[in-house]
Structure 1
C-alpha cells in the first residue's frame, strides 16, 4: 500500500485535507493516509496523530505560552513520519507548524508537497528562500502566486481556491429556525482570535438595531469558548455549526461580521454582504503593521483591486467603526448590490482550468507519486 502523510494545522486545512482524501480515493482506492487532521478528515476515516485543536493558535503573544506543547507535538509528528516512511508528505497551510515540520523531515528524502502557498506577497517576502529549501512543490490557490515561487525555483500548480466547493453557495433560507433580520458573526477557528474578537464583535452587535438577530458560526476547535460567552451579546442569539446549517444561515442573513481570512471568501461565495474585522494584541498589532506589504487583507479586495468589502483591522477593529460599516449593508439595497457585483468579479479569478479545486489538487498529488 502507498501511504500519503497529510499534516493540517487548523480547521480550514482540515477541510482541504478531507476533500483531498476523497478526491484521491476516487482515483486510487489503494492509497493509505496518515498524519494530523481534524473532524472533517476523520469523517473520511482518517486517524489523526493528535488533536488538531492543540495547533489552533495565531499571533506572536498567543503562541509563546504554548511553545513547549507545540514542540512536543512537532517531535511526535517527526517520529511518526520517520517510522512510517510514507511515499509523499502533504503539508496543508498553517506554515508556522507545517513548514517547520517539513524542515525537520526533509533529510529523510521523502518528497514534500505544500498545499496553500504561504502569503509571502503580503508579508515577509524573504521567506520564499527558506520555503524553497523545505518543500519540493506547492499547490497554489491564487493565480498570481505561481510566478513568485517559481522565481525561487519551486514548481507550482495553480489548483484553484477550495472555497468554490463550499456548501455556502447552496443554502436555503426557508430551513432556518428563526425569522426576521439576522446577522452572521464569524469570529474564527483559533482560540486566541475568538477570545480577542468576541468582545468587539459583541459590542458591535449591541450598537445595531434591536431587531437584528446575531447568528454565530461555530468551529469545532473553539465551540466551547463561544458557548461559554453567550451572555456577552446582550440579546438572544442563534448558533450554527454544521456546513449545511451555515449555508442556510448565510442565505437567510441580511449581512455578516466576518473575521479576516477564508470566512470572508465563504461569505462572498454565498453572496452575503459583509464587513471584515481582525485584530491581535497591541504588541502583535505594532509588529504586523510594519510587516504587512499589500493594500488589502481581504482576498476579495485583492482580486478585485478595490475595496469591495470594508476592512477594519488592528486598531480599527472597534465597535463604533464596525457598526458604522455594517449599517449600510443592513439598510441599503444598493450597497448590497454593489458588494455582490464585486464578489462575482473576484471569484471568477479563482477557478482552475479544469474540474474542481480538490480534483486539481488530487491530480497534482498523483503526478508526484
Structure 2
C-alpha cells in the first residue's frame, strides 16, 4: 500500500511519524512518500523536500516565497499522480495542502487532511473549498467534528495526541520537588507566552496581577517558565520593576508542563497552553491582549463565543477569559484569588478537566490510521464519537 504524506512543520512531523507507525502496525509493507522531517524519514518516508520548505509565516513572507511554493506544489502533484498512492494525507499546513488535496482528488486519488484549520472560528466559507478538497477531515476536537458534520463534510474525530501523551493522573508533589517548590504552599504558574509580542502586551499586566495576589494569598509562590533564552532575558528585565515579588518568583527555562502540574492555578495567554493546562487538570485564567487594530479586526472576523480551548471543548465558560481592556491586573487577580483560596471550586474544575481529558484520550494516531485505511480500502469512515459528545451549540 502506498501513502503520500505532506507535512510542513515540526508539529506535523511528529503527527506524521505517529500516523506512519500506526499504519505500519497494520500493514508492514506500507510505502511512504512526500514531504516530512527527521521523525517521518526515520519511519520510512521518502521526502522530496526538506520539512522547512513549507514553514513560511506572515503575509509578506508568503508572498515573497509564493512562486517557489507553487512550484513545489506542481512538482508534488506530478509526482503523486505518477506514483499513484492509495491515499494522500495533508498534515496541517492548510494553505498549501488543501490546494494539493483538491488537485489530487480531482484526479482520482483519495485525500485526507489531518488537523482541522480554524474554519469554525473565522472565514467559515472556507468549508466549501475543504469539501471539494478532502474525502476525510481528521479532527483533534469534538466540536470541530460537529462543525464538519453540520456542513456535510466527511469527518472523523480521532482525539488529541497531547491528551494521549499526558497521564490521566499527575503528580503535583513530585513536580514541586523537581522545581524546588515547597509541597505545602499555594503555587501559581504564570505563562506569559512564547512570542515577543505576548511578553510586550501581557508581561507587565501579569506581574502587576501577581503583586496583588501576593497581598491576598498567604505564602503564595510563583513559577514562571521562560519559553526561550530571549524570553528569559525579557522576563528578567520586567521582574526588576516588581521588587515586591523578590523571593516569591522561581524563573525556569522551559518546563511549562512541570510548572502547570506543580501549580494550584495557572495564568496564561490563550492558545495551546490553555489546552495543556486543562490536560494537567489545573484551573486557569486566560488573558490576551493584542494591538488595537488587530483586536478591532478579530472582533469582526471571529465567529465563536469563546477563545480558549477548555471553554470551546466544554461549550460553556469553565475558565475566565479576559480579553484586551478586560485583562486588567485587578480583574486577573480577583479571578485567581477565587481559584487559590477556594479549594472546593478548584477540585470541581480539576475533576471536570480530568473527565474532558479522558474524552480526548482516544489513541489519535491509531484512529487516524484507521480512517486512512478506510479511505484506501473504500470503506466507510469510522465514527468513534458518541452523539452527546458531538453536540454543538449555536
TM-score by length of 2: 0.74
Whole-Å Cα distance in 2 between the matches of residues 67 and 320 of structure 1?
42
Does the aligned pair in 1 maintain the 2:143–2:312 contact within 8 Å? no
Q: Which residue of 2 aligns with 1:191?
A: none
Q: Can you list the C-alpha shifts for 1:201-258, whole angstroms capped at 9, x where unaligned?
A: 422442214663333264xxxx465355343441651022xxxx55433321232233
- 1:291-302 matches, within 5 Å, as 291-302=301-312
Q: Indicate yes or no: 2:71 matched with 1:75.
A: yes
- Structure 1 stretches of 4+ with a deviation exceeding 6 A read none
Q: Can you list the C-alpha shifts for 1:104-154, whole angstroms capped at 9, x where unaligned?
A: 655554322012333433333222111111222111333344454345443
Q: Which residue of 1 aligns with 2:365?
A: 358
Gaps of 5+ in 1: 189-193
Does the aligned pair in 1 maintain the 2:139–2:157 contact within 8 Å? yes
Aligned with 1:216: secondary structure? strand
The structure that has the greater radius of gyration is 2
Does the aligned pair in 2 maintain the 1:308–1:342 contact within 8 Å? no
Q: Post-superposition shift, 1:90?
A: 1.4
Q: Which residue of 2 aligns with 1:337?
A: 347
Whole-Å Cα distance in 1 between the matches of residues 192 and 100 of structure 2?
29
Does the aligned pair in 2 maintain the 1:259–1:278 contact within 8 Å? yes
Q: Which residue of 1 aligns with 2:379?
A: none
Gaps of 5+ in 2: 215-219, 240-248, 377-394
Q: Can you list the C-alpha shifts for 1:37-67, whole angstroms capped at 9, x where unaligned?
A: 557656756676335497374xxxx433543
Q: Indicate yes or no: 2:245 matched with 1:238.
A: no
Q: Indicate yes or no: 2:315 matched with 1:305.
A: yes
Q: Post-superposition shift, 1:165?
A: 0.4
- 1:251-330 matches, within 5 Å, as 251-317=261-327, 319-330=329-340
- 1:1-369 matches, within 5 Å, as 2-9=2-9, 11=11, 13-37=12-36, 41=40, 44=43, 49-52=49-52, 55=55, 57=57, 62-69=58-65, 72-73=68-69, 75-84=71-80, 85=83, 87=85, 88-103=87-102, 106=105, 108-146=107-145, 148-150=147-149, 152-167=151-166, 169=168, 171-173=170-172, 174=174, 176-180=178-182, 181-185=187-191, 187-188=193-194, 194-207=195-208, 208-209=210-211, 212-216=221-225, 218=227, 223=228, 225-227=230-232, 229-234=234-239, 237-240=251-254, 245-317=255-327, 319-347=329-357, 349-350=359-360, 352=362, 356-369=363-376
Whole-Å Cα distance in 2 between the matches of residues 339 and 303 of structure 1?
14
Root-mean-square deviation over aligned CA pairs: 3.4
Cα distance change, pair 198–319 in 1 and its aligned pair in 2 (3 A):
farther
Does the aligned pair in 2 maintain the 1:74–1:101 contact within 8 Å? no
Aligned with 1:237: secondary structure? strand
Does the aligned pair in 2 maintain the 1:7–1:37 contact within 8 Å? yes
Query: How many pairs align?
Result: 348
Whole-Å Cα distance in 2 between the matches of residues 139 and 146 of structure 1?
8
